[in-house]
Structure 1
Amino acid sequence: SVIKYLVDNGSELNVSDNAGNTPLLIAVQYCDLPIVKYLVENNATINVKNNKGETPLICALYKQKFPIIKYLIDKGADLNIKIAKNNKTPLYIACKNKMENVVKYILEKGVKIE
């Protein structure tokens, strides 16, 4: 893929567009798990925020894609991070969207409950 070619040839993984989206955030938005894995394995910043304050995990929660959500959590995505504009956490978003399997998984991983 183009992403793999760019990374293999020394392109910066954490460069962002005008909206603050990095290649990892864009891969999550397009629900492309193989590219998400490739970028994370090549040291893309997993808790990077775009201009809206959204991280890859937050974007995956909005897309309701459990395989990507689980992968990001397993790789160390911050479960206690809050979206800058409204203080919503990953657990809040999962509950609001009735994602029971995600809520259970987040709780099993030891999220702080305030």
Structure 2
Amino acid sequence: MNLSNIDVTALIIIIAAVWFVVQSISATKLPNKFLPLVSIVVGIVISVAYSYLSTKNIQLEQDLFFGLFAGFSASGLDDTLTKSVSGLINSFVGILVSKAADSASITDTSASPDTTASTTK
């Protein structure tokens, strides 16, 4: 296996294609625990197909390696993006909720003397 002539652009295209296909498959009723395995299989299939369509020459060992790499990369990319984006959203929502709670408590404390004053008169 000769890794000295790695086509980085092709590898990025394969990773993006694998990610897109796996996202499409994840919309089905397939359990999420199988998605990394599906990602690897799809990566190998797309890598071999890309190699055959671009050069009409299949270097099986190299294509399997690139397919595994693309599958793991797409799976990790999805996991990272999902956790990062949900973490940012949760942090942002938490800040908004705490500010809303603070402003509500300030409003409640300013309203409570008026209600006590009106009840004593």
Q: TM-score, normalised by structure 2?
A: 0.24
Report which of the two has the higher share of helix: 2
Q: TM-score, normalised by structure 1?
A: 0.25
Structure with higher RCO (Cα < 8 A, 6+ apart)? 2
Q: Which has the larger radius of gyration?
A: 2
